[in-house]
Chains A and B, each alone.
Chain A
Amino acid sequence: MLQCNDVCKTFTGGRGELEALRDIRFEVATGEFVSIIGPSGCGKTTLLRILHGLEPTTSGAVLLAGKRVEAPSPSSAMVFQQFNLFPWLTVARNVTFGLEVAKLPLAQCRERTERYVRLVGLEGFAEHYPHELSGGMQQRVGLARALALDPEVLLLDEPFGALDAITREELQREIAVILAQSPKTVVFITHNMDEAIFFSDRILVMGTRPGRILEEVRVDFPRPREADAVRASREFASMREHLWSRLSHGGKPA
């Protein structure tokens, strides 16, 4: 279980203080998929970095399985909006990166790399460099790199944000399949309501200035979900409308 206990974050810079996050409190149960949705500048990414231990909190704490998260560890892994692959490493070496840093035995590194490269459908591209791949393929590498660590928590920072509509759709379907086969605890940052509804068990709606959680929305569509069926349903439309009304007033206090 991932717990976020009253996390506050204030940045202190040359122009004074900026309150980025105020009293963020939520829990994500093991195997649960939670989306965090909010307008840009609401501190979603800062929150995700705090959940991963990349950024210290000003007050409050993040607990993973009861233990305080203070630095990145292989128990959670991140997928980035801009993929952030290392251009000097091949696909296989990019996927192995986290495993090597975590000091896994060589044989295990190799075995897992091969398995996850295959899982994301990149067999035959292991020795390619990132610049030889399309955006969608690059994000598959990013996903394989995170999954290869076999983390308890998967942190997705707008992973489809830099992809075109068709690629986005394809990758979404595949991720849904992968997660159905081996469920993970997932925190998913997005500003796309359709994505949030399609994937989530729960959606946390954030507002800006300071970043805070405005509302929690349960999504009860049965799994496995079929994107077109979900989208065509009445519940989907009303949920989308509700989220939209919250987001469009998100800047102001309710």
Chain B
Amino acid sequence: MSVQADARRKTMLIQGAAHVSVLLGWEMLSRFVIPPQFLPPPSAIVRAFVTTTQSGELPRQLWQTASVLFLGFGLAIVSGMAVGIAMGMFPTLRRILDPYVNAFYAMPTVALVPLVIIWLGLGFEAKVFLTWLVAIFPVIINAQIGVMNVPAAFIETARAFGCDRWQVFRRVILHAATPFFIAGIRLGLGRALVGVVVAEMFTALAGLGYMVVFYGNTFRTAEVFVPIVVLAALSIAITKVIYRMERWIAPWRVAQE
């Protein structure tokens, strides 16, 4: 036990030392070799982080981004699951919708930004819509695949124990497909984050994406790094939440892996 604890402490020590030396190296490089407009030292980024936080700018923009992300991505999860499950269950619907879903999934949705601006303007709705549009397709596709890939033996067993069609769906298909649902959500998240930032860069003057553009255009490189780091932290945090969710909803699956 104490041997294990020792080993863990040692690993953590090595990890910590590695991070500190990377930061130190970066600091030295930015101070003495590379001009700070190209690559600001970590200390300058920390300072920019403090000033933008104190001025209230960073919290406000983070809230902007987070509200667009949660609304757009949340809607994408709910509507994407509904459509995907329906497509998995009903072959006719699948045949009708499949080409559209595949086309939208394959194409770079950023190309639609001008259209969305014409339709919905530059405000909150446009950003939510773009986020939703970017994130929904992996959710649909994975939900559909999950429903279609439920092993026939499970369905046969459920029928053998008297389940009707609705019970087979509720008691078996929804559970058996859960790992696919979560995979779709995980893939959708990555796209949703890109969607939010792109939407903010092109549309209204708000959010972390806007911060990147604004400080980039004014060559305040240290401030550019602040929203980038926050976005990275945000995506890691949400990924962790999804992982926790999977452990909670499908403990059997996580344990199998």
Chain A residues with CB under 8 Å of chain B are 52, 54, 72-74, 77-78, 80, 82, 84, 86-89, 97-98, 101-102, 129-132, 145, 149
Contacts and interface: CB of A to CB of B under 8 A. Distances in A.
B153 A86 contact: no
A97 B161 contact: yes
A88 B160 contact: no
A132 B162 contact: no
B38 interface: no
B187 interface: no
A101 B160 CA distance: 11
Interface in B237-257: 250-253, 255-256
Nearest to A85: B157
A82 B252 contact: no
A52 B160 CA distance: 7
Most-contacted residue by chain B among A73, A80, A97, A131 (CB, 10 A)? A97
Given A129-B251, A131-B252, A132-B255, A86 B154 contact: yes
A54 B159 contact: yes
Contacts of B171: 97, 101
Given A84-B153, A87-B252, A101-B167, A78 B175 contact: no
B152 to A, nearest CB: 10
Contacts of B160: 52, 54, 72, 77-78
Contacts of B183: none
13 contacts: A74-B162, A86-B154, A86-B175, A87-B253, A88-B175, A88-B178, A88-B250, A89-B175, A97-B161, A101-B161, A101-B162, A130-B252, A132-B255
Contact of A72 (B161, B172, B175, B178): B161
Contacts of A130: 252
Contacts of A129: 251-252, 255
A129 to B, nearest CB: 5
Interface residues of B, number: 22
A98 B252 contact: no
A87 B253 CA distance: 8
B29 interface: no
A145 B161 CA distance: 9
Interface of B: 153-154, 156-163, 167, 171-172, 175-176, 178, 250-253, 255-256
Given A74-B162, A86-B175, A88-B178, A80 B252 contact: no
Contacts of B157: 78, 80, 84, 86
Given A88-B178, A88-B250, A131-B252, 15 more contacts: A52-B160, A72-B162, A73-B162, A78-B160, A88-B175, A88-B253, A97-B171, A98-B161, A101-B161, A101-B171, A102-B162, A130-B252, A131-B256, A132-B255, A149-B161
Contacts of B251: 129
Contact of A54 (B156, B175, B250): B156
Given A87-B252, A87-B256, A88-B176, A80 B161 contact: no
Nearest to B256: A131
Contacts of A97: 161, 171
* Top 7 A-B pairs, shortest CB-CB distance: A98-B161, A84-B157, A88-B175, A101-B162, A129-B252, A78-B160, A87-B252
B153 A80 contact: yes
Nearest to A82: B153
Contacts of B163: 101
Contact of A98 (B162, B175, B253): B162
Nearest to B176: A88
A82 B154 CA distance: 11
Given A102-B162, A132-B255, A84 B156 contact: yes
Contacts of A80: 153, 157
A84 B161 CA distance: 12
Nearest to B163: A101
A61 B161 CA distance: 21
Nearest to A71: B162
A88 B167 contact: no
Nearest to B178: A88
Nearest to B162: A101
Contacts of B159: 54, 72
A21 to B, nearest CB: 18
Nearest to A132: B255
